[in-house]
Amino acid sequence: MNSTVGVTVAGGNGPGSASNQLDQPHAIWVSSKTGFMYIADTYNNRIQRWKMNDTQAVTIAGTGIAGDLSTMLSSPAGVALNANETFLYVSDQYNNRIQRFDLTV
C-alpha cells in the first residue's frame, strides 16, 4: 500500500516487436490461477502472455500484423479471461469487435 518504487515485470526494453518488447501496451489481465499476465500489445497487434520472472513473452493471439481475419487483431485495447480461464476475450479496437480465443487448444 505504501510502495513508491515500481518494478518492471514485462517489457522495459524500449518499443519494439521482439518477444521481450511491447509497443503501447494498453491493458493487462493477471490470471488468478497461474499468475500469467495477458497484455494487449496494441501497436504490435497481438496479445502477449508473460510468466512471472520471465524475460520474454509468448504471442497467444494476433499475428503481429494488423488485419481483420479471425486470427488477426487491429490495435487490441483490452483483455479479459472468463472465470475458469478457458477463454480469452480481446477488445479488437479498429475492427470494432470483441474476439474470443480458446486457451485450451
Q: Where are the domains of the chain?
A: 25-102
CATH number for region 25-102: 2.40.10.500
> Residue 59 — pLDDT band, cuts 50, 70, 90?
very high
- pLDDT of res. 40: 98
The Cα-based distances of 67 to 4, 44, 94 in angstroms read 40, 11, 9
> Measured between alpha carbons, how far is 93 from 105 in angstroms, rounded to an integer?
25
* pLDDT reading at 94 higher than 90: yes
* pLDDT reading at 21 higher than 90: yes
* pLDDT reading at 77 higher than 90: yes
* pLDDT reading at 1 higher than 80: no
Judging by DSSP bridges, how do beta strands 25-30 and 87-92 pair with one another?
A: unpaired
- The mean pLDDT value for 13-24 works out to 95
- The mean pLDDT value for 30-56 works out to 95
Q: In which order are the strands placed within the sheet that holds 58-61?
A: 25-30, 37-41, 46-50, 58-61
